[in-house]
């Protein structure tokens, strides 16, 4: 009742406030918002998080040394007192106030932003001398640094000083060993670089860095592409195909060039690499390719062969997904559809099931239930090592077809949870007992059998008041 009243009160207030603000003069509304920003840090943070200040507005901001000193002091104070708040940090694994600093810095003139961003990185870096913190957020400052510098209309020669300052952080700072991603540095460099002269300058720097930092090799390849230097790009990329992202990048290069055969060959070569790694019991190199909108290479290959009506190769790729990714019921259905068309489903079915880890009970259960092979599902659920949720899934699904077997499975789940001797588990046991009651009353129409069972449970556990309390409504 009170919740309903609170909700009604909020809706009424929101309606009246919304109408009033809509009718308020623009200048008065702006004045109100600015006053609230000054008086309430939470309000200021929320407002800055939800608006984007146009670049032209930022560029028009005056240089403000007084405010720069103030914010620098706040940043320094925050990091100086960090050792006293480390317990809060370790709970959240992030430095909440840094995002607020970034929001505030974004309102300054670009020149002031550069000073503040580098100050934040350098002061934060000093904390690493004594305390281990995740510095991923600090790394974003380098991305923002490049974006801010790009607003200053610098000549290529002037940009070079900023390129050097950003790249120097690789040597001078400790943040790279504590979570900072080099992609943030690259993003900042990319934001500032815009001319052939910029790309050429950075390419020389990257070549030297590549001797020590493997990521820089990818930067070299990228900047050869920016310079339309196909020959050197191919030489670097083909000599450094390590992750799925590398293969995708090269495949996209061939596709953009209209080289369909080489595009497909590159995608297939990744599958060969996966098979070789598996045969040698090697892990797959890390790749961020799964974050790309285009999907993984195996998904690309499946899409290609599906589009071209090539069932043989489509089946081969789908089975490769079972091996190198994870089997799913949806994948099983796709394989079934293709194998049925090829008129060899029984053979392929055995192959698919043989590729599933024998302890992957969930997918095995889903397949048996999909095929309505109730006995196979029940036999699986009877295995002691099968997880509780899988047994419950099977019991829930087969109860209309094999009610006695479903009761057997529920009985086991009730007993297991009672044995754990904890009210939390007694609650779970009561939920499973309620399912037994449903089967006896609604499916088997045997209320007497249910009464005998629940009476037996109560008699055997009369000295467990918490359990009796959970079972009293059954």
Top-confidence residue, 388 or 103:
388
Residue 245 lies in a domain: yes
Distance of CA 123 to the CA centre of its chain: 29
For 392, phi then psi, to 5°, come to: -65, -40
Residue 320 lies in a domain: yes
From the list 261, 363, 359, 247, the residue with the least C-alpha distance to 294 is 247
Taken in order 108, 195, 211, 291, the sign of the CA dihedral is positive
Domain final position from 164, 194, 224: 194
Question: Tokens in use for 79?
Answer: 């990091």
Domain final position from 133, 165, 194: 194
- For residue 110, give the H/E element and its range: helix 110-127
Same domain, 349 and 268: yes
For 240, phi then psi, to 5°, come to: -135, 55
Please answer whether residues 267 and 304 qualify as being in contact, where contact means their C-beta atoms are separated by less than 8 angstroms: yes
**Which residues, at least 6 apart from 197, have a Cβ–Cβ distance to it below 8 Å?**
156
Same domain, 178 and 106: yes
pLDDT at 11 over 70: no
Same domain, 41 and 168: yes
CA pair distance 433, 99, nearest whole angstrom: 50
Domain count, the chain: 3
Residue 365 lies in a domain: no
Residue 61 lies in a domain: yes
Same domain, 398 and 337: no
Q: Give alpha helix (H) positions in 53-195.
A: 55-59, 65-80, 86-92, 96-105, 110-127, 136-149, 156-172, 182-192
pLDDT at 5 over 50: no
pLDDT at 213 over 70: yes
For residues 79-95, give the mean pLDDT: 61
Residue 474 lies in a domain: yes
Q: Rounded to a whole number, what is the distance in angstroms from the first to the last CA of the chain?
A: 29
Q: Quick: pLDDT tens for 234-257.
A: 999 999 999 999 999 999 999 999
Q: Range with the lowest mean pLDDT among 25-29, 94-98, 187-191?
A: 94-98
Residue 397: the pLDDT is 97
If pLDDT is split at 50, 70 and 90, which confidence band does 297 have? very high
Same domain, 150 and 255: no
Please answer whether residues 242 and 204 qualify as being in contact, where contact means their C-beta atoms are separated by less than 8 angstroms: no
CA pair distance 190, 226, nearest whole angstrom: 11
Same domain, 48 and 168: yes
Residue 224 lies in a domain: no
The pTM of this model reads 0.79
- DSSP-assigned letters across all residues of 260-278: HHHHHHHHHHHHHHHHHHH
Please answer whether residues 214 and 175 qualify as being in contact, where contact means their C-beta atoms are separated by less than 8 angstroms: no
- What does the DSSP 8-state code read for residue 473? T
For residues 16-42, give the mean pLDDT: 70
Residue 132: the pLDDT is 64
Same domain, 68 and 114: yes
Q: Give alpha helix (H) positions in 259-402.
A: 260-279, 297-307, 311-324, 329-341, 345-355, 361-370, 374-381, 388-398
Residue 309 lies in a domain: yes
How many CB atoms lie under 10 A from the CB of residue 406?
Answer: 25
CA pair distance 344, 84, nearest whole angstrom: 67
Q: Quick: pLDDT tens for 379-426.
A: 999 999 999 999 999 999 999 999 999 999 999 999 999 999 999 999
**Which residues, at least 6 apart from 405, have a Cβ–Cβ distance to it below 8 Å?**
374, 378, 395, 398
Same domain, 48 and 187: yes
CATH code at position 312: 1.25.40.10
Residue 289: the pLDDT is 41
Domain final position from 356, 371, 395: 356
E-assigned strand segments in 165-259: none
Per-residue burial over 111-148, b = 16 or more CB atoms within 10 Å of its CB, e = otherwise: bbbbbbbbbbbbbbbebbeeeebbbbbbbbbbbbbbbb
Same domain, 463 and 400: yes
Same domain, 151 and 43: yes
Same domain, 182 and 314: no
Same domain, 398 and 260: no
Question: Tokens in use for 7?
Answer: 């909700």
Residue 217 lies in a domain: no
Range of the domain at 412: 380-474
Q: Give alpha helix (H) positions in 81-109.
A: 86-92, 96-105
**Which residues, at least 6 apart from 317, have a Cβ–Cβ distance to it below 8 Å?**
271, 298, 301, 302, 305
Question: Tokens in use for 285?
Answer: 């190199």
């Amino acid at each position: 009742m009170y919740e309903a009243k609170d909700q009604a009160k909020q809706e009424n207030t929101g309606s009246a406030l919304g109408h009033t603000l809509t009718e308020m003069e623009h200048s008065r509304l702006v004045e109100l918002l600015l006053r609230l920003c000054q008086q309430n840090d939470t309000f200021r943070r929320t407002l800055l998080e939800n608006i984007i200040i146009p670049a032209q507005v930022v560029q028009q901001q005056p240089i403000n040394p007084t405010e720069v000193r103030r914010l620098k002091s706040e940043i320094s104070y925050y990091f100086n007192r960090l050792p006293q708040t480390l317990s809060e940090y370790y709970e959240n694994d992030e430095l909440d106030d840094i995002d607020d600093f970034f929001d505030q810095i974004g309102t300054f003139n670009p020149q002031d932003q550069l000073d503040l961003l580098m100050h934040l990185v350098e002061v934060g870096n000093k904390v690493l001398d004594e305390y281990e913190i995740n510095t991923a957020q600090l790394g974003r400052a380098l991305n923002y640094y490049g974006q801010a510098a790009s607003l200053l209309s610098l000549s290529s020669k002037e940009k070079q000083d900023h390129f050097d300052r950003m790249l120097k952080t690789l040597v001078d700072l400790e943040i790279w060993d504590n979570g900072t991603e080099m992609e943030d540095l690259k993003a900042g460099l990319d934001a500032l670089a815009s001319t052939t002269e910029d790309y050429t300058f950075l390419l020389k720097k990257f070549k030297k860095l590549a001797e020590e930092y493997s990521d820089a090799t990818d930067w070299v390849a990228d900047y050869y592409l920016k310079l339309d230097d196909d020959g050197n790009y191919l030489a670097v990329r083909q000599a450094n195909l390590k992750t799925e992202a590398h293969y995708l990048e090269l495949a996209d290069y061939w596709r953009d060039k209209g080289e369909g055969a080489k595009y497909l060959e590159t995608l297939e070569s990744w599958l060969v690499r996966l098979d070789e790694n598996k045969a040698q019991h090697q892990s797959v190199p890390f790749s961020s390719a799964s974050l790309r909108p285009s999907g993984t290479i195996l998904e690309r290959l499946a899409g290609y062969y599906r589009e071209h009506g090539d069932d043989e190769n489509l089946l081969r790729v789908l089975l490769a997904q079972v091996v190198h990714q994870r089997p799913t019921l949806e994948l099983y259905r796709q394989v079934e559809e293709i194998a049925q068309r090829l008129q060899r489903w029984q053979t392929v079915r055995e192959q698919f099931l043989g590729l599933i880890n024998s302890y992957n009970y969930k997918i095995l259960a889903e397949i048996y239930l999909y095929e309505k092979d109730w006995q196979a599902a029940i036999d699986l659920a009877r295995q002691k090592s099968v997880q509780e949720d899988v047994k419950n899934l099977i019991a829930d699904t087969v109860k209309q077809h094999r009610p006695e077997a479903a009761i057997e499975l529920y009985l086991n789940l009730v007993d297991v949870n009672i044995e754990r001797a904890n009210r939390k588990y007694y609650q779970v046991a009561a939920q499973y007992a309620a399912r037994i009651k449903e089967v006896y009353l609604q499916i088997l129409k045997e209320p007497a059998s249910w009464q005998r069972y629940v009476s037996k449970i109560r008699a055997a556990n009369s000295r467990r008041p918490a359990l009796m309390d959970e079972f009293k409504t059954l």
